[in-house]
Every structure is written in C-alpha cells, then in structure tokens.
C-alpha cells in the first residue's frame, strides 16, 4: 500500500473539504493496518518479505520479532530507506532499522530525500506511506528552502566534521542561518510525529535530529524518547567549536535515553555535558531541569548468519564470477565506503601505491565508493583523482591495480565480493562503528577466511581485536598490515576469524535493537523525575532498575506533590529507597542552580 497523507493537517472536525476527507480516509486505512494483529500482517507479508521469518523454534530469543511483548515504536531519522528486496546497500542505518520495522511492526518516519517546493507550511507537507512486513515506512516531504541549510549546511558541514574530531573542516559560514534551518526542519518533523503520539515510544536516530526530542517535549509528547548516535562523539575541545554547542547539548537532555557505539563516545559526551551545562553524571545518568537522561553504550551489529548465507549462495552470481575470472593470479583486496573525507581513502590508496612500488602486480584493489554527499564542495574533490593517478602509475597492458565502482550493489552481491577478497581494508580516519568490516568477516569462507585490516579509530576495533589494527594516517603501517594479511598462514586466519565470528553473533543486530528498546521501556518512569527529588526515592543510585508496576504507580503520586525546599520522606519513599537497595546518595539530589538557569524548565 502506497498512499499520500497529510500528517500535519487540521483535525477532521475542522474541515469537510473533499480532498481532506480523502486524505483522512487514507490515514484511517493506514492506522487500521498498524493496529492489526502482528501475526495477521506477518501472514500477509509472506513471501514478499526480503528478510527471513523464523519459526518459534528457530528464532533467537532476544529478537524483537519473537518476544512475547512489543513496544509500539516510532523510528525517526533524516532519511528513510526504500526497503525493496535485494536493493543496493544503503549504509548502516538502513541495515539496522529495516529489520526492526519489518519484524516488530514499527513505523519509520523520515525525509523522502526529495525536498518539495512548499514553503514549510504544515498544511502543505505530504507523506507517502509504504507497508514493509509488519510495519510501515513514512516518507515526509520537507521544504527545499530550508533543507539545504539544515542538511548540507549545519548537519554535514558543521556537525559531521565536528563529530569526527576534524576541527579544521568545521564550517561556520552562515552558521546562524543554517542553525535556524536545522531547527525548522526538526520542528516540521516533530509536527509530523504528532500523528503517532499515542504510540509507546519514539526512537530517534543520528546527528541530523539532535534537537527533535526537545521539540516533541514542547508539544506535550510524554512518551519515552530515545536517541541513538551512529557517528562518534568528540571531546569538549572539538565540540565547543560548533556554533550553539551548549544549546544543542541542553536540547539533548530532553531524551530519556542516549545511545552510543563505544564507551569512548559516551565518556566524551558526558564530558561535554559537564563542560557546557555544568552538570555531572553518575553511572551514566544526568539530572537536568528536564529530568533524567541515561547515557549508555549499545554497539550496533549485523545479522552475521544472514550475511554468511548470502556469501555462500553468491558463487553462481555473474558479477562475482566475472570479478574472479578477471584476476591473473594476484590476490584481491576490497574496500567499501561512501566517498567521504572521513573514510581515509586518500591514505589507503597511498598505502597501496607504496605496496605496488615494492611488489608490482601482487594484489588488486576493488574499491566501492558511493558519492552520497557529492553536493557539498569539499567532498567533490575526493572523487576519482587518487584512483586515476594510481592506475596511471602502476597499470600494465593486462592489469589494472584499482577497480573503482561508484554505484551501489545489493547485499547479496556485496557478500560475494567480500568472500572473493583475501583482504578487506577498512581504514576510516574516525568512524562510529563501521559495519563493512563486520559484513566482511561474516561473509568469509570458514575453511579459507580472509583478513580485515581495520582502523583503530573505528568503533568496530573495540570488538574485533583479532583484526589487524592500524593508525589510518600511518601509510607505511597500513601497507605493512596489508602485506601481513596477504601472507598470514591459514591456521592463524582461521583462529582469528572464529573469534571474530563469535563476537558478531554475540553482538548481533537483533541484540542491539532489543537491548536499546528494553532500556527505553525502562525509561517510562524514571525520566520524569525532577532533579531535586532524585534522592527522595533513590533513583540517583539506581536509574536502571526495572520497577514493579505498583511501585511505579505509587511513585507517580509521590512525584506529583508540590516541591518544598527539603521535603521529608514519606513511608512510601522510605520503602521505595529500601526496595532500590539502600539509602540515596546526597550527591544524587544536588541541583546546580547555575546550570539550571541555562536549561529549559520543561522537558
């Protein structure tokens, strides 16, 4: 079902215009779809699904699709993927969220990627709705006049380099205007989400929507709102170079749960909270005038067994067979990246340049690089310049060192290319996680696996310690690691691969989504506690506790009482503190008046 609805239009009682009546009829059909029992929709999805539907005895007990209880989620990101079977790979975010939508019945809302000519008037914003398995994709048209400043401007020319700790690339030109556009688009997204305000929770994704949680709170959305950052987070020395950095941090306190890939990113964020707002954290919990915000680490994964299956089935794929037949006895390395300055493509090709000078014709590089941000001037110069120069220096009549592909490929084809490669070279200058290296490991032949060369500044390096870790700016070091991978004995390759596969299965995509949603569900109560009441019920010490429903209900009554300077504990408060494991720490209920004056009074 593909329909066009107006998620921002007036209430039905306010108009009887035929066009509006038609839109509301379409909206009612969509809402009926969402309210149907999941099992019914699962049967309807059937063979049309692009992902496996497991029987109860086959399913991972941590998989959201097979748990006995589900949250009625709304996922939000800047863009929404198409969700078409066997479509070209579209990045980590799409790979992570599409299964959540398809299996759990979630709604995923974001931009269509095709800005409209409207002026930003809410009554003109349309959204197309597409069924996907048990859930739906909602693609919102955003006004072109604001989109460039929001996306190309503030998000990708200011926030993106800052989050990757590349201070020299942070753009501050037109920063105030771009920042205004950033807020405008977030406001439009928040208005669109009001249609789904009765759902259980909202899960917001990535740096384009840092302030969306605050916008939703301003519109009286009181459901749990979580946020996951798919990029790294820098230290305060870099973050403070971002215009309006303190306002952004304060807005992020509207989220109940903030998720990061690594402990390093989480620590950096908490350091920025202290630096910008004067607020300290305890066990990852920050108390602001907006309430409690919990900061936790959720390393994103992949469906390793699915990728292994794709790779095993790829032997008959014509594209993979053509690549292998074109090799003249040399080994093959593979790199898969967006054409982006954070990916270390220049340094990677220089490392291969050194290797080919020493050992001509020993290895070819297949580099898949999709130019997703080509509109921004600073990205354009990274296109083909380095590839063409290297090929001009080292190519022979029957050998081309670098095979460069800018078009995306499907996951099934990609898995085959991974399996054909003896070495994967994943060397970003800095990266939130990087799922390419995980996909490469999962796609390997267990009897003859290849070896990944991995930047130590990618989040995946914290998990895949058996990869050959390198400094992405040490060109000679990258070259040595590639040679080591080429010459590594089979027994060592197998041993390293088995350890990495074990990690991939433990930290799967299913576990990532289930763990985040489980923590978000725990936020239903604790997020609404005013900071100067934390000590009264012991939440400063145990914000991650799962409370019995009767405790939560009575605790709400306690928290709704008017606040006094030093409210005496009631019998219930004393018993709650005892239930939580002890007396509260006085430091948990301290409230920084100076920091409070800089924070919004409402969540």
Q: Can you tell me the distance from the alpha carbon of 448 to that of 186, in angstroms, rounded to the nearest whole number?
A: 49
Q: Which of 242-256, 286-300, 402-416, 543-557 is predicted with the least confidence, judged by mean pLDDT? A: 543-557
Q: Which of 18-27, 85-94, 99-108, 541-550 is predicted with the least confidence, judged by mean pLDDT? A: 541-550
Helix (H), strand (E), coil (C) string for 281-310 = EECCEEEECCEEEEEEECCCCCCHHHHHHH
Name the percent of the chain lying above pLDDT 90: 56
Q: Please say if the pLDDT value at position 538 is more than 70.
A: no
Q: Please say if the pLDDT value at position 255 is more than 90.
A: yes
User: pLDDT tens, 214-242?
Assistant: 999 999 999 999 999 999 999 999 999 99
- Degrees (nearest 5) of the Cα angle 252, 256, 9? 75
Q: Which of 230, 245, 394, 422 is catalytic?
A: 230
Containing H/E element for 101?
Answer: helix 92-104
Q: Which of 303-307, 330-334, 454-458, 551-555 is predicted with the least confidence, judged by mean pLDDT? A: 551-555
Q: Please say if the pLDDT value at position 167 is more than 70.
A: yes
Per-residue confidence (pLDDT) for residue 140, from 0 to 100: 92
Per-residue confidence (pLDDT) for residue 102, from 0 to 100: 86
Q: Which of 152, 276, 431, 588 is catalytic?
A: 431
Token code pair at residue 183: 């807020």
User: pLDDT tens, 89-141?
Assistant: 456 678 778 888 888 889 999 998 777 655 555 556 678 898 998 899 999 98
Per-residue confidence (pLDDT) for residue 381, from 0 to 100: 61
Per-residue confidence (pLDDT) for residue 600, from 0 to 100: 40
User: pLDDT tens, 168-202?
Assistant: 999 998 999 999 999 999 999 999 999 999 999 99
Q: Can you tell me the distance from the alpha carbon of 109 to that of 73, in angstroms, rounded to the nearest whole number?
A: 11
Per-residue confidence (pLDDT) for residue 17, from 0 to 100: 42
The answer, as to whether pTM is greater than 0.85, is no
Q: Can you tell me the distance from the alpha carbon of 166 to that of 147, in angstroms, rounded to the nearest whole number?
A: 24
Compute the average pLDDT of residues 304-319: 90
Burial of 37 (0-12, 13-18, 19+ CB in 10 A): exposed
Q: Which residue has the higher pLDDT, 102 or 294?
A: 294
User: pLDDT tens, 438-461?
Assistant: 999 999 999 999 999 999 999 999
Token code pair at residue 150: 């929001």
Per-residue confidence (pLDDT) for residue 84, from 0 to 100: 66
User: pLDDT tens, 40-95?
Assistant: 443 443 333 332 222 223 334 334 333 323 578 999 999 998 876 555 545 667 87
230: annotated active-site residue: yes
Q: In which band, very low, low, confident or very high, does the pLDDT at 383 lie, cut at 50, 70 and 90?
A: low
Q: In which band, very low, low, confident or very high, does the pLDDT at 166 lie, cut at 50, 70 and 90?
A: very high
431: annotated active-site residue: yes
Q: Please say if the pLDDT value at position 274 is more than 70.
A: yes
Q: Which of 472, 96, 470, 163 is nearest to 298 (CA)?
A: 96
Largest CA distance in the chain: 86
Where are the extended beta strands (E) located within 442-568? 451-455, 468-470
The whole-chain average pLDDT of the chain stands at 78
Helix (H), strand (E), coil (C) string for 319-380 = HHHHHHHCCCCCEEEEEEEECCHHHCHHHHHHHHHHHHHHCCCCEEEEEEEECCCCCCHHHH
Per-residue confidence (pLDDT) for residue 34, from 0 to 100: 47
Q: Which residue has the higher pLDDT, 451 or 583?
A: 451
Compute the average pLDDT of residues 402-431: 92
Q: Which of 26-40, 217-231, 412-426 is predicted with the least confidence, judged by mean pLDDT? A: 26-40
Name the percent of the chain lying above pLDDT 70: 70
Cα atoms found within 13 Å of the Cα of residue 86, Cβ hemisphere only: 5
| Distances 391 to 250, 339, 402, 570, 599 between C-alpha atoms, Å | 50, 18, 6, 76, 56
Per-residue confidence (pLDDT) for residue 405, from 0 to 100: 82
Q: Which residue has the higher pLDDT, 38 or 504?
A: 504
Q: Which of 53-67, 348-362, 407-421, 553-567 is predicted with the least confidence, judged by mean pLDDT? A: 53-67
DSSP-derived secondary structure letter, 586 = G
Q: Which of 315-329, 364-378, 451-465, 556-570 is predicted with the least confidence, judged by mean pLDDT? A: 556-570
Per-residue confidence (pLDDT) for residue 289, from 0 to 100: 92
């Amino acid at each position: 079902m593909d329909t066009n609805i107006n998620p921002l239009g007036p209430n039905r009682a306010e108009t009887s215009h035929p066009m509006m009546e038609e839109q509301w009829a379409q909206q009612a059909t969509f809402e009926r779809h969402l309210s149907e029992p999941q099992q019914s929709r699962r049967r309807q999805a059937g063979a049309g699904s692009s992902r496996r539907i497991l029987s109860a005895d086959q399913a991972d007990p941590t998989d959201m699709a097979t748990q006995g209880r589900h949250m009625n989620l709304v996922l939000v990101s800047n863009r929404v993927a198409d969700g078409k079977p066997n479509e070209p790979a579209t990045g980590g975010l799409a790979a992570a969220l599409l299964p959540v939508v398809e299996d759990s019945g979630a709604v995923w809302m974001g931009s269509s990627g095709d800005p409209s000519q409207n002026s930003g008037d809410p009554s003109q914003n349309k959204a197309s709705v597409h069924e996907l398995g048990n859930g739906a994709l909602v693609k919102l048209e955003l006004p072109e006049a604001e989109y460039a400043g929001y996306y190309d401007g503030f998000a990708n020319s200011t926030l993106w380099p800052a989050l990757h700790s590349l201070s020299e690339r942070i753009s501050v030109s037109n920063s105030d205007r771009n920042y205004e556009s950033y807020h405008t688009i977030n406001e439009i997204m928040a208005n669109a989400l009001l249609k789904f305000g009765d759902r259980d929770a909202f899960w917001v994704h990535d740096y384009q929507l840092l302030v969306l949680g605050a916008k939703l709170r301003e519109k009286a959305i009181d459901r749990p709102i979580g946020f996951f950052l798919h990029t790294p987070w820098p230290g305060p020395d870099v973050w403070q170079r971002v215009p309006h950095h303190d306002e952004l941090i304060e807005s992020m306190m509207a989220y109940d749960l903030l998720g990061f890939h690594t402990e390093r990113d989480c620590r950096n964020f908490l350091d920025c909270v202290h630096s910008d707002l004067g607020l300290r954290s305890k066990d990852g919990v920050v108390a602001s005038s907006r309430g409690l915000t919990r900061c936790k680490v959720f390393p994103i994964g992949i469906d390793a067994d699915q990728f292994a299956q794709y790779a095993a089935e790829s032997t008959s794929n014509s594209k993979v067979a053509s690549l292998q037949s074109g090799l003249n006895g040399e080994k093959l390395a593979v790199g898969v990246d967006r054409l982006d300055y954070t990916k270390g493509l220049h340094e990677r090709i220089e490392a291969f340049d050194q290797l080919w000078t020493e050992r001509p014709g020993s290895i070819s590089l297949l580099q898949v690089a999709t130019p997703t941000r080509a509109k921004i001037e600073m990205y354009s110069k990274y296109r083909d310049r380095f590839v063409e120069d290297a090929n001009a220096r080292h190519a022979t009549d029957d050998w081309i060192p670098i095979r460069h592909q800018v078009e995306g490929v499907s996951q099934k084809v990609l898995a085959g290319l991974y399996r054909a490669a003896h070495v994967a070279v994943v060397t970003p200058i800095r990266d939130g996680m990087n799922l390419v290296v995980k996909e490469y490991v999962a796609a390997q032949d267990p009897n003859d696996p290849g070896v990944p060369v991995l930047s130590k500044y990618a989040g995946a390096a914290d998990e895949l310690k058996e990869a050959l870790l390198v400094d992405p700016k040490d060109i000679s070091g990258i070259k040595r690691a590639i040679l080591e991978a080429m010459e590594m004995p089979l027994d060592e390759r197998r041993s390293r691969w088995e350890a990495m596969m074990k990690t991939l299965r433990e930290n799967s995509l299913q576990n990532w989504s289930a763990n985040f949603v489980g923590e978000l569900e725990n936020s239903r109560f604790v997020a609404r506690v005013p900071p100067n009441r934390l000590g009264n019920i012991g939440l400063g010490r145990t914000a991650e506790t799962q409370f019995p429903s009767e405790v939560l209900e009575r605790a709400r009554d306690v928290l709704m009482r008017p606040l006094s300077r030093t409210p005496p504990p009631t019998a219930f408060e004393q018993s709650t503190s005892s239930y939580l494991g002890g007396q509260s720490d006085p430091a948990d209920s301290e409230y920084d008046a100076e920091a409070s004056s800089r924070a919004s009074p409402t969540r």
